[in-house]
Amino acid sequence: MSILAILEQRDGVLHRMSLETLAAAQQWGAELNVPVFAALLGPGVDAAAQSIAAYKLERIHTIDHDLLNDYTPDGYLAALKPLIEQHKPRYVVFPHTYQVRDFAPALATALDRVLVSDVISHRVENGALILTRQFFQGKINADVSFEGEAPYFASIQAGAFRADTLQPGSAAIEKTTPDIKPEQIRSKPSERFRESQRAVDLTAADLIVSVGRGIRDAENIPIVEKLAAALGAELAASRPICDAGWLPMERQVGSSGQTVAPKLYLAVGISGAIQHLVGIKGSKTIVAINKDPEAPIFEVADYGIVGDLFEVVPALIEALQKK
Amino acid sequence: MKIVVAIKRVPARDSQLKINSTASGIEESDLSWEINEPDAYALEAGLQLRDRVSGEVIVLCAGPEAATQSIREALAKGADRAIHIETTSSLTADPLTLAGMMAKALESEKPDLILTGLQSDDLGYGQTGVILAQRMGLPHATLIMNIEPAGTGIQVKRELEDGWFQNVDLPLPALLTIQSGATRLRYATLMGIKKAKTKEIRRVAASDVNDPAAPRIRINCISLPEKTKHSQIFDGPAKESAAKLVDKLRFEARVL
């Protein structure tokens, strides 16, 4: 019995969520009293494996092959399915990255299992894990247990476990060259690219005013611009605002935009879908203004105003201008 | 090109959700419903592609009888016909069970392309599309922003993390999950709404396509999330709340 953490790396550098996933695997391993293994794939695996070799792990599997040089779901499936079949881990755990979302459901399906995706916490009952994940974009928590035989698959949400809890130790590294055939790879990825250089660096901002769907119309954007100006803050937005073209993409905060860590993050009309919350977790103080008292943003807010932003924001500007 | 678009009916975005008495799900009776927003973008991508290369768009929806409303809405926007897998609830099946039913319902269709949203706004597993591809033996790509016909296949623009993108070439048939927001959604026209009433909806009983295999996961219970922080919430008149907040930010949090 064991836990296998399948981590993400690129050219020898771990994805920032990989260590959090490793921390989750270690905690589960300690609570279930089972050893933890890690697996890394693709070019750069040796350097990536070295970077986790001083943690308490039973073994690190490094998997490399010419056909893994560019990520494809087919290639990853061909590499990982035999590893799982051979080593028979009880739990297989991934970071919930875009790449994992692309291949892990297919991998679980190929083994006739369901991946419990985007897990935020866990507990152990009768020697088995019960995992909590969120429904309705964070409005409801669901406790999920596995049925039938192992392996059991789960992916871990960004920020749910802390990398600084990792236990030191030493890990043996075992190289594997999987048997992948060119005809198994059906998709052909091209080089990665960026559309434009980011002119706005929100990651360095001390104060951020961020706007979401609650603003209702492009015409209303000046209301939050005024608030940002009154505070001397950068203006940011949730994804729908940038998708609609009401603010440029470079001002988007969240899993598909920038990850920010200001002293003050003031969220106006943002409900707090998880894709947004993962981008603001590092903020020192979070303030939410929303008309819905049940909005998930209030769960992470230090201060909140429940009310109509079209009344609250002008009142706030007025209060800020009074010394 | 024969394009299937899988859509889901979900509670409207601002719904006040109530947990049912057995904590097994939410009260579904008083909710208003809409097409899952990412699926609406998948439908739009499908309609745009069909309008360019010709062919048909078939809407696939698993849900209770009331989901007919969402199916009619998709037909009114321009889908050509629909397949409705009739289930008792929108919210119970795990993604493997759901995708298994969809795969069976599509066996006779042999589509060239299957599109769906990247995730549902209700259960949010973000997996049904990928599982459906795996079940049907199709190549797939997720988080797609754009689809271009390319020779006998397609080239898609895929969103990666941190502002990166990648073009991927895929042979057909294939499955794509569509990223929200990449394009404008069309509205149904009056003519479209009229026409939708005469368009074919093939109804499939869930029991005819359900895989009798035991489920692999079980929802034990649902609950409202506990607050991770001790929040101070002001809900009085706007002016009063604003003044209190500014005071707290200046003298307690000391961030101004």
Instruction: Please check whether residues B201 and B111 belong to one and the same domain.
Output: yes
Does position A8 have pLDDT exceeding 80, yes or no? Answer: yes
- In chain B, the residue whose alpha carbon lies closest to the alpha carbon of A155 is B125
- In chain A, the residue whose alpha carbon lies closest to the alpha carbon of B230 is A302
pLDDT at residue B210 in the model: 87
Interface test with B, best of A305, A308, A311 (most B CBs within 10 A): A305
Residue B214 lies in a domain: no
Instruction: Please check whether residues B105 and B192 belong to one and the same domain.
Output: yes
User: Which residues of chain B lie closer than 8 angstroms to A100, CB-CB?
Assistant: none
Any B CB within 8 A of A208 CB? no
Q: Say whether the ipTM exceeds 0.90.
A: yes
Interface test with A, best of B125, B172, B224 (most A CBs within 10 A): B125
Instruction: Please check whether residues B256 and B175 belong to one and the same domain.
Output: no
Query: What range defines the domain where residue B15 resides?
Result: 2-209
Does position B1 have pLDDT exceeding 70, yes or no? Answer: yes
How many Cβ pairs within 8 Å bridge chains A and B? Answer: 255
Instruction: Please check whether residues B101 and B185 belong to one and the same domain.
Output: yes
Instruction: Please check whether residues B168 and B66 belong to one and the same domain.
Output: yes
Average pLDDT, chain A: 94
Work out the pLDDT band at B32, boundaries 50, 70, 90. very high
More confident residue, B166 or B163: B166
Mean pLDDT along residues A204-210: 93
Does position A129 have pLDDT exceeding 80, yes or no? Answer: yes
Q: What is the pTM of this model?
A: 0.90
Mean pLDDT along residues A13-39: 97
Domains and their CATH numbers in chain A: 3-184 (3.40.50.620), 202-321 (3.40.50.1220)
Does position B229 have pLDDT exceeding 90, yes or no? Answer: no
Does position B186 have pLDDT exceeding 80, yes or no? Answer: yes
**Minimal C-alpha gap between A170 and chain B (Å):** 31
Q: What percent of chain B has pLDDT over 70?
A: 98
Measured distance CA(A220)–CA(A212) in Å, rounded: 11
Partner residue opposite A301 with nearest CB, options B134, B166, B229: B229
Q: Mean pLDDT check: name the lowest of A225-229, A235-239, B32-36, B159-163.
A: B159-163
Counted domains in chain B:
2
- Among B171, B145, B126, which residue's Cα sits nearest to residue B48? B145
pLDDT at residue B90 in the model: 63
Instruction: Please check whether residues B36 and B154 belong to one and the same domain.
Output: yes
Measured distance CA(B176)–CA(B5) in Å, rounded: 10
User: Which residues of chain A lie closer than 8 angstroms to B31, CB-CB?
Assistant: none
Mean pLDDT along residues A126-148: 94
- pLDDT per residue over A300-316, tens digit each? 999 999 999 999 999 99
Q: What percent of chain B has pLDDT over 90?
A: 81
Instruction: Please check whether residues B159 and B243 belong to one and the same domain.
Output: no
Partner residue opposite A307 with nearest CB, options B94, B127, B235: B235
A102–B130: do the CB atoms touch at under 8 Å? yes
Does position A197 have pLDDT exceeding 70, yes or no? Answer: no
Q: Between residues 30 and 89 of chain A, which touch chain B (CB distance below 8 Å)?
A: 73-74
User: Which residues of chain A lie closer than 8 angstroms to B22, CB-CB?
Assistant: none
Measured distance CA(B98)–CA(B87) in Å, rounded: 10
Residue B215 lies in a domain: no
Residue B104 lies in a domain: yes
Work out the pLDDT band at B13, boundaries 50, 70, 90. confident
DSSP string, B104-139: HHTTTT--SEEEEESS-SSS----HHHHHHHHHT--
Interface test with A, best of B226, B227, B241, B248 (most A CBs within 10 A): B241
Question: Residue A87 in 3-state DSSP?
Answer: helix
Any A CB within 8 A of B17 CB? yes
Residue B216 lies in a domain: no
Residue B219 lies in a domain: no
User: Which residues of chain B lie closer than 8 angstroms to A316, CB-CB?
Assistant: 242, 245-246
Partner residue opposite B135 with nearest CB, options A103, A109, A300: A109
- pLDDT per residue over B68-109, tens digit each? 999 999 999 999 999 999 998 766 779 999 999 999 999 999
HSE of A311 in the Cβ direction (CA atoms, 13 Å)? 13
**Minimal C-alpha gap between A145 and chain B (Å):** 5
Work out the pLDDT band at B228, boundaries 50, 70, 90. low
Mean pLDDT along residues B158-187: 93
Instruction: Please check whether residues B43 and B153 belong to one and the same domain.
Output: yes
Does position A199 have pLDDT exceeding 80, yes or no? Answer: no
Any B CB within 8 A of A209 CB? no
Partner residue opposite B238 with nearest CB, options A103, A191, A312: A312
Residue B7 lies in a domain: yes
Q: Which residues contact B175 (CB under 8 A, 6 or more apart)?
A: B113, B114, B115, B116, B129, B130, B132, B133, B136, B138, B139, B140
DSSP string, B156-211: EEEE-STTEEEEEEEPSSEEEEEPTTSSPPPPPPHHHHHHHTTS-EEEEEHHHH--
More confident residue, A64 or B256: A64
CATH code of B169's domain: 3.40.50.620
Mean pLDDT along residues A217-244: 95
Partner residue opposite A117 with nearest CB, options B125, B135, B181: B125
Instruction: Please check whether residues B141 and B93 belong to one and the same domain.
Output: yes
Work out the pLDDT band at B28, boundaries 50, 70, 90. confident
Any B CB within 8 A of A312 CB? yes
Instruction: Please check whether residues B96 and B156 belong to one and the same domain.
Output: yes
Mean pLDDT along residues B142-149: 97
Residue B220 lies in a domain: no
Work out the pLDDT band at B6, boundaries 50, 70, 90. very high
Q: Mean pLDDT check: name the lowest of A198-207, A258-267, B1-10.
A: A198-207
At which residue do the structure tokens 């459906």 appear? B132
Any A CB within 8 A of B88 CB? no
Instruction: Please check whether residues B54 and B159 belong to one and the same domain.
Output: yes
B126–A117: do the CB atoms touch at under 8 Å? yes
Measured distance CA(A293)–CA(A272) in Å, rounded: 12
Residue B164 lies in a domain: yes
Any B CB within 8 A of A111 CB? no
* DSSP designation for B235: -
Interface test with B, best of A213, A251, A256 (most B CBs within 10 A): A256
Average pLDDT, chain B: 93
B239–A143: do the CB atoms touch at under 8 Å? no
How close are the terminal C-alpha atoms of chain A, in Å?
A: 64
Does position A52 have pLDDT exceeding 90, yes or no? Answer: yes
> Would you say B134 and A110 are in contact if contact means Cβ atoms under 8 Å apart?
yes
Instruction: Please check whether residues B197 and B243 belong to one and the same domain.
Output: no
* DSSP designation for A34: -
pLDDT at residue A95 in the model: 97
**Minimal C-alpha gap between A50 and chain B (Å):** 24
